[in-house]
A and B are shown apart, each in its own frame.
Chain A
Amino acid sequence: MKMIEAIVKPFKLDEVKDALLEIGVQGMTVTEVKGFGRQKGHKETYRGQEYTIEFVPKVKIEVAVQDSQVQRVLDTITRTAKTGSIGDGKIFVRDLAMAVRIRTGETGDTAL
């Protein structure tokens, strides 16, 4: 099992979600986050004073998947979240040791 964390542009969330549902992903967790990468921040101006806002709002999508699904999920997110301009985000994949479905107590792949 893998945990896939994708940091994407907020307005891309719906598109990514729909595409993931289509390829059979059963659920996801979404969080509003802030951060920066190479895009750095953006500029705001109040009464002539410029402020650089370093932390840009993004959305983090967390999806837990079986090993066999990983590549498809990565491809789908990369395809749908892409605008081609700087600031499109990143995807991180990490090993997932255990998953439990609380209602039934099932564990492992069947719990996903």
Chain B
Amino acid sequence: MKQLYRLMTAMLPVLACLALMAGTTEGLAQEVGAPAASAPVAAAPEAPAAAPAPPKIDTGDTTWVLVSTALVLAMTAPGLALFYGGMVRGKNALGTIMQSFIILCLISVQWVLWGYSLAFGPDKGHVIGGLEWLGLNGVGLEPNADYAATIPHQAFMIFQMMFAVITPALITGAFAERMKFSSFLVFTLLWSTLIYDPLAHWVWAVGGWVRNMGALDFAGGTVVHISSGASALACAIVLRKRLGYGKEHMVPHNLPMTVLGASLLWFGWFGFNAGSAVASGALATSAFVVTHVATATAALAWMAVEWIYRGKPTVLGAASGAVAGLVAITPASGFVGPMPAVIIGLVAGVLCYLAVLWKAKCGYDDALDVVGIHGVGGIWGALATGLFASKAINAAGADGLFYGNPAQFGIQAMTVLISVGFAFVGTFVILKLVGTMMPLCVKEEEERMGLDLSQHDERAYS
């Protein structure tokens, strides 16, 4: 009975939103009905198109953005699910995979109901989108020239949805092997709504105040990686450590799974970065190339520094280095050429390796190194954009420090501070808040048993 009550209270926000949408369905119906009504009019001979021609949809651009959307989806599930799933102990494999998989479902619905409107809806005071696009009201199939003039607005919306999905999924690595599933769901929903949506608005939306500062973030270095990295740090600090942390062996149970996941992340990242051109052409190609180059370099760099420092080149190291490179090139991918990409990857591999070593000394339990890879890699990427950006690559961008514009570096550094500060403090507050309503971590006995059995009544391997 008590559980039923809890379930009902958990459903309340969803129900409230559905009720809200009921009010907007009238508008939706009109919207859908409109083209059908105008079709016969257009066919009538006395009605030549007097209104200005609507922006033309480009089939190549639309194709690329839709394919990219599917590629970015593959980053969360199966990419991240396997990457993280292999790194935990066998008793937590399913629980970890489930977190990524269910975030894909949860945030997809959140994005349609209110997320997209808060992030990209008509600007309110440079800090948040309005509620005009709740339930995708007014987000139709004709292009929105503010964001992507040559593809249907819904194509841009669903491409952005996949970014909103993967960001909280990245954070799950910080609280892996110990967070209670129900608390995780509540946290994720609140985090997406209160941290991701506003931050995406600040950095990407027309009118967003960070965007107005002139910050460059091509594919989400600040919004996705710095925000997830800083939030991961807050999670590692607020949630208790895993039982036996530092004393018991907590070694990855299936590294082939992790390498498969890392490779799928790499594959999907072409959609993430090259897709962020929201067009198919020169810029997408440039972003595609530098993404690949930086990733390969970073994997080699991590492997090399580990080989020199510890004596053996590890497979997990190479895979981690690749992810660090992907993270670092993300904000820069639309603004830099191939040689700067080599440098960005090289530094990312070494820096993130050192960050992961440093974590062990600090003693906080960021289980799967979200801070070391996404936080540190993301910060490096944002700063590197301020160093290597060039208008020769992207006329719509800006020149960086090495191209005679030191001010850009300052703007990038400001963006880093803003996103780290906002994500860290915001996540800290959300966790404390959720913690007053329900326990954040599973019980000791449940943790010993593993998330698979204690949270889901299933086993990954039987």
Contacts and interface: CB of A to CB of B under 8 A. Distances in A.
The range of chain A's interface size is: under 10
A92 to B, nearest CB: 29
Contacts of B320: 47
Main secondary structure of the interface of A (DSSP, over half): strand
A46 B312 contact: no
A51 B249 contact: yes
Contacts of A47: 314, 316-317, 320, 356, 369
Contacts of B252: 46
Contacts, number: 26
Nearest to A47: B356
Interface residues of B, number: 15
A50 B311 CA distance: 12
Interface in B252-284: 252
Main secondary structure of the interface of B (DSSP, over half): helix
B388 interface: no
Contacts of A85: none
Interface string B312-339: 1010110010000000000000000000
A105 interface: no
A95 interface: no
Interface in B323-361: 353, 356-357, 360
B433 interface: no
B399 interface: no
A47 B310 CA distance: 11
Nearest to B353: A48
A53 B249 contact: yes
A47 B252 CA distance: 10
Contact of B314 (A46, A51, A53): A46
Contacts of A44: 251
B306 interface: yes
A48 B360 contact: yes
A49 interface: yes
Interface in B233-252: 249, 251-252
B251 A51 contact: yes
Interface of A: 44-51, 53
9 contacts: A45-B310, A45-B312, A46-B251, A47-B314, A47-B317, A47-B369, A48-B317, A50-B310, A53-B249
Question: Which 7 pairs show the lowest CB-CB distances between chains A and B?
Answer: A48-B357, A51-B249, A47-B356, A46-B251, A48-B356, A46-B316, A45-B314
